[in-house]
């Protein structure tokens, strides 16, 4: 059975467009869903202890270092197990929410989800698909002020996930009807 990892990062619960879109996308897909809600269960920021633990070879880590990486290890395992990752991307101040950035920091691990080679970094999460549900009040996807979608696309690619589709309800505060119409058309194409 297909494994789907749904990640929501909107601080809004009621009326969240990105949450609505991730739910609708997951409903279209056939598979077993793991739901990670970064607003309901916030993740910690990485710390100096985490960094030292992460860069200590696994076989040399102390029990305290293994504990420092336990949550990151669990998040990485969820991502590794997923065939499709559905990510809610509300745009906050032209970029990704801090909750989503914390998740990225915890799963982007050298030697685990990517590695360095003589030809540069190589993502280790190949063969996965990502569908991103982007919602914004005034930031148009791909515009000069959109730092969210290029960043997330880059980070997914950095980890080896290059099959990325965006479902976008952008500029909702400018023309909500047009923004939702665009997202509906993209959802219909995804379902086809």
Residue ranges for the binding site for FMN?
10, 16-18
Q: What is the mean pLDDT of residues 46-69?
A: 96
- CATH of residue 131's domain is 3.40.50.360
DSSP class of residue 59?
G
Which residues fall in the annotated binding site?
A: 10, 16-18
The whole-angstrom distance between residue 42's C-alpha and the CA centroid of its chain comes to 14
C-beta of residue 8 within 8 angstroms of C-beta of residue 37: yes
Q: Check the CA dihedral 177-154-144-146 and report its sign.
A: positive
pLDDT of residue 137: 97
Q: For residues 73 and 59, what is the distance between their CA atoms, to the nearest angstrom?
A: 15
* Terminal Cα-to-Cα distance of the chain (whole angstroms): 20
pLDDT at 192: 84
Looking at the DSSP bridge assignments, the partners of residue 90 are 135
**Angle 98-107/63-81 helices, nearest 10 degrees?**
100
- Indicate the average pLDDT of the chain: 97
Q: Measure the CA dihedral 162/164/170/176, to 10°.
A: 180
Q: How many domains does the chain have?
A: 1
Distance of alpha carbon 26 from its chain centroid, rounded? 14
- For the segment 94-103, the average pLDDT, to the nearest whole number, is 98
Task: Give residue-wise pLDDT tens across range 111-140.
Answer: 999 999 999 999 999 999 999 999 999 999
Residue-level pLDDT at 1: 86
Separation between Cα atoms, residue 129 and residue 160, nearest integer Å: 10
Question: Could you tell me the two tokens for 39?
Answer: 């607003």
Q: Does the pLDDT of residue 99 top 90, yes or no? A: yes
Range of the structural domain that residue 73 is part of: 3-191
């Amino acid at each position: 059975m297909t494994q789907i990892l749904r990640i929501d990062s909107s601080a809004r619960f009621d009326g969240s467009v990105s949450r609505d879109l991730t739910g609708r996308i997951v409903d279209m897909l056939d598979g077993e869903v793991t739901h990670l809600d970064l607003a309901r269960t916030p993740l910690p920021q990485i710390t100096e202890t985490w960094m030292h633990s992460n860069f200590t070879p696994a076989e040399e880590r102390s029990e305290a270092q293994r504990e420092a990486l336990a949550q990151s290890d669990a998040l990485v395992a969820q991502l590794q197990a997923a065939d499709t990752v559905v990510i809610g991307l509300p745009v906050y101040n032209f970029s990704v929410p801090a909750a989503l950035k914390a998740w990225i920091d915890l799963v982007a691990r050298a030697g685990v989800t990517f590695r360095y080679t003589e030809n540069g970094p190589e993502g280790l999460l190949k063969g996965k698909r990502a569908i991103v549900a982007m919602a914004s009040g005034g930031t148009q996807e791909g515009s000069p002020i959109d730092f969210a979608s290029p960043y997330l696309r880059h980070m997914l690619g950095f980890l080896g996930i290059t099959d990325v589709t965006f479902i976008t309800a952008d500029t909702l505060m400018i023309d909500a009807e047009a923004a939702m119409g665009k997202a509906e058309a993209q959802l219909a194409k995804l379902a086809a």
